[in-house]
Chains A and B, each alone.
Chain A
């Protein structure tokens, strides 16, 4: 499987080898492209939000499902990505491309620092370390007036997306929807390529038996930190897109409730499947929004879902389906 071809070529190669998968990809993309024509504006907005959150959930799956390290502060990258985009567009220059170049640098660096320090702790300790880091960031941003404090960074004017030939007006939900779909699809391809690469195999090895991988001569810490940085970058990107969509960045994007929620999205969908967490994110986002319009205390039901998933479906809905297929 080793090879050093161009990334997109490799993906195409993988697809070509499995024409069934190619057909599925095309069908899903076609479905996603056709979807907004059947949706009202309200559901279009919801669809955009859930697609962005799907990428966020997938970014966590990279480390939690593949490397087996559970981050309980993943919202930190989501939030910092959002704030970084907000600051760049509001105060520096209204360029989405620039923001999307700077956000991975900031989030990657942040993930590197947090990763290097936290990775010394294993399992549940790592989870709580990341939670602590996320809380520090949450509090710092919450108390920084330049970033809007508890109100959040509001009023991010959405610039047009410059696509060389023409400028895409992102204020129209339908355009934003397609941008989100393209973003999610590309992110998925990159992550899929990553987990299927030799690097991904080492990660899975770490998940299954960390000591053995290190006996085989791999530097486990390096692999974990790199995976954490990649995961942080994708979380940052999705957070940036989220803030662009909402036209504001709030401290809620960094809150530990979101960190917990994104883990549950992963669990609902099934860890270590990439697609599962995305489906889980879409499911939870839709479910939560629809539920909240009928029932003010919907957190009770969301909490109950968490409990049911954890007790009865630790492999997730997706895992359940895969399990049946394998005849488990």
Chain B
């Protein structure tokens, strides 16, 4: 029994935790962008994919994984900046379904462009840190624990920015009442652009972080986005705490379920969790009322 816990259950729980944190990083951008801008970004997964590919290519030039993460985040953030200015601004204030379609098309373009640049085959990135850690008899790869640490650090940092700084107050104000914020002299358009850029940069960072564990390929964003969507809905669209809690929940559901059923069916189970949540509480766990 104890052996089962140490060798099977505990590593799987940590797996779930790591996976959950990565989902949270992706979902966070999605939920913030929705909460602030009312934009459902269906191309969010493509920024995650672009991040992974940028990291992959940058590693050939700079040979430093940690620097590559930062640079990939900046590069993808810059791309997000241009896209936001060119495509999203004309749609401010329109029904979110238009954004969904816009980003649907954008996703197609980004996937196909990535295929043209990097080719369709799957690639792998070497982990920057090898080796494992032993703790209470549990052996666990060091790099995965580092993902966990970095992820938590980023999440805490975002929480700090949103709640304790002037920028966070501005952001929350724009999210609550766009018109009133504008009247009070907040440059709402700039807040939106900043939000979007931060969101996609986070996804890109998640992409690089995951690249040594998962494969890198042009359609990897699709798998990621569907899961991120689910998490965001379970948590309540626009709710940051909700997204984090739901990510951790889904991470656990998936990794523990795959102990007993095949991983593909474990993925399907995630959708079942979503449907059950929606039946019981249509606004999601931490959802705002209305709509």
Contacts and interface: CB of A to CB of B under 8 A. Distances in A.
Partners in one complex: yes
Interface of A: 70, 72, 117-118, 120-125, 127-129, 131-133, 135-136, 139-140, 142-143, 256, 260, 263-264, 267, 297, 299-300, 302-307, 310-311, 314
B268 A140 contact: yes
Given A297-B112, A300-B112, A303-B112, A310 B267 contact: no
A255 B272 CA distance: 18
The 4 A-B residue pairs with the shortest CB-CB distance, nearest first, are A306-B105, A303-B108, A303-B109, A303-B105
A117 B91 CA distance: 30
Interface string B112-152: 11011000000000000000000000000000000000000
Interface stretch (B16-24, B61-69, B275-283): B275-283
B29 interface: no
A305 B116 contact: no
Contact of A139 (B111, B115, B229, B267): B267
Interface stretch (B95-103, B154-162, B183-191): B95-103
Contact of B100 (A124, A129, A132, A303): A124
Nearest to B42: A260
B108 A136 contact: no
A310 B108 contact: no
B157 to A, nearest CB: 28
Nearest to B109: A303
A299 B233 contact: no
Nearest to B267: A139
A303 B96 contact: no
Given A70-B97, A123-B97, A128-B229, A307 B87 contact: yes
A220 to B, nearest CB: 15
Given A70-B97, A120-B282, A303-B106, 11 more contacts: A120-B278, A124-B40, A125-B237, A131-B229, A135-B271, A139-B268, A139-B271, A143-B264, A299-B112, A303-B109, A311-B91
Nearest to A297: B112
Contact of A314 (B98, B107, B108, B111): B98
Interface of B: 40, 42, 87, 90-91, 94-98, 100-102, 104-109, 111-113, 115-116, 226, 229-230, 233, 237, 264-265, 267-268, 271-272, 274-275, 278-279, 282, 291
A300 B97 contact: no
A307 B102 contact: yes
B39 to A, nearest CB: 10
Contact of B90 (A125, A260, A300, A311): A311
Contacts of A260: 42, 101, 104
Q: Is the interface of A mostly helix, strand, loop or mixed?
A: helix
A149 B282 CA distance: 32
Contacts of A135: 226, 271
16 contacts: A72-B100, A117-B275, A124-B237, A127-B97, A128-B40, A132-B229, A132-B271, A132-B275, A135-B226, A263-B101, A264-B105, A300-B112, A306-B104, A306-B108, A307-B87, A311-B87
A304 B105 contact: yes
Contact of B233 (A128, A140, A305): A128
Contacts of A314: 94, 98
A288 to B, nearest CB: 11
A193 B268 CA distance: 39
Contacts of A302: 105, 108
Contact of B102 (A122, A124, A139, A311): A311
A300 B108 contact: yes
A307 B98 CA distance: 9
Contacts of B265: 143
A23 B108 CA distance: 42
A18 B75 CA distance: 60
Contacts of A133: 271, 275
Nearest to A308: B105
A305 B105 CA distance: 8
Nearest to B284: A125
B115 to A, nearest CB: 7
B6 to A, nearest CB: 31
A304 B268 contact: no
A121 B97 contact: no
A125 B233 contact: yes
Contacts of B98: 310, 314
A62 to B, nearest CB: 16
